[in-house]
Amino acid sequence: MASSVGGLAVRVQEEPQRAAPVALPAFADIVREHQGMVFSLAWHYLHDRALAEEMAQEVFLELYRHIGSIQSPEHLLFWLRKVASRKCIDQTRRRVFWPKFGLDEIPEPPAKLRQSDPLLSRALARLVASLPEKARMLVILRFQEDLDPSDIARVLDMPVGTVKSQLQRSLDVLRDKLARTVGEIAL
């Protein structure tokens, strides 16, 4: 069976673990196309640039080994999100991950912040990185990848109801923490 992934003819194999049916230059194109998405998932989740790059590389190495099982560009995107999410969560479980910052370290804003204020974005990104494992990934998939709760549920193998309730709870926590961090910001 043949299908097209990233403009490449990819043969779907019975045993995807065997030699990948894609040439290295063509695979490099796939990497370049999706590296921003995979790296950003890891970066926003781990908040450690070196670790995020390492993690993103591992995702693409795993993709190379499984490229034969990818059936369409949509499947590729789904696969990358799923594997990147799983690897990030595993990583935090493997080495007990403590965020390298506390709420006290987040700088106080000098004045009322505007919507696109980089200080606010940094503070928010750090607050997201301090959420519990699954909740953190839910928020990242929702607001980085703009996925619906049903898509997030498929990526993380969770019930849709749980995704919705955890998202709501995470937003409440973030709103509360942000209010405490930046004081008078109008939410």
Partner 1 sequence: MSNLEDDLRLALRREEPSLDFAERVLARLSEPPAVPTWRQRWAVLMRPPRLQWAAVAVVLSVLIPAGTVQYQKELRYRAEGERAKAQLLFAVRVAGSRLHQAQRKVLETSRPGTRL
Give me the residues that bind partner 1 (CB under 8 A), please: 24, 27-28, 31-32, 35-37, 39-40, 43-44, 52-53, 56-57, 60-61, 64, 93-96, 115-116, 120-122, 124-125, 128, 139-140, 142-144, 146, 171, 174-175, 178, 186-187
Smaller CB distance to partner 1: residue 153 or 167?
167
**Alpha-carbon distance 23 to 28, whole Å?**
9
Sequence-distant (≥ 6) Cβ neighbours of residue 64 within 8 angstroms: 20, 22, 27
Smaller CB distance to partner 1: residue 7 or 36?
36
Smaller CB distance to partner 1: residue 1 or 50?
50
H or E, element range at 8? strand 8-11
Tokens of 35: 């590296």
Find the shortest distance in angstroms from Cβ 108 to partner 1: 17
Find the shortest distance in angstroms from Cβ 123 to partner 1: 8
Smaller CB distance to partner 1: residue 13 or 53?
53
| Number of helices and strands in the chain (H, E) | 7, 2
Sequence-distant (≥ 6) Cβ neighbours of residue 132 within 8 angstroms: none
Find the shortest distance in angstroms from Cβ 120 to partner 1: 6
Sequence-distant (≥ 6) Cβ neighbours of residue 62 within 8 angstroms: 83
**Alpha-carbon distance 73 to 75, whole Å?**
5
User: How many CB atoms lie under 10 A from the CB of residue 26?
Assistant: 15
- How does DSSP classify residue 108? P
**Alpha-carbon distance 161 to 97, whole Å?**
27
Find the shortest distance in angstroms from Cβ 60 to partner 1: 5
Smaller CB distance to partner 1: residue 1 or 176?
176
Find the shortest distance in angstroms from Cβ 34 to partner 1: 10
Smaller CB distance to partner 1: residue 5 or 124?
124
Find the shortest distance in angstroms from Cβ 5 to partner 1: 16
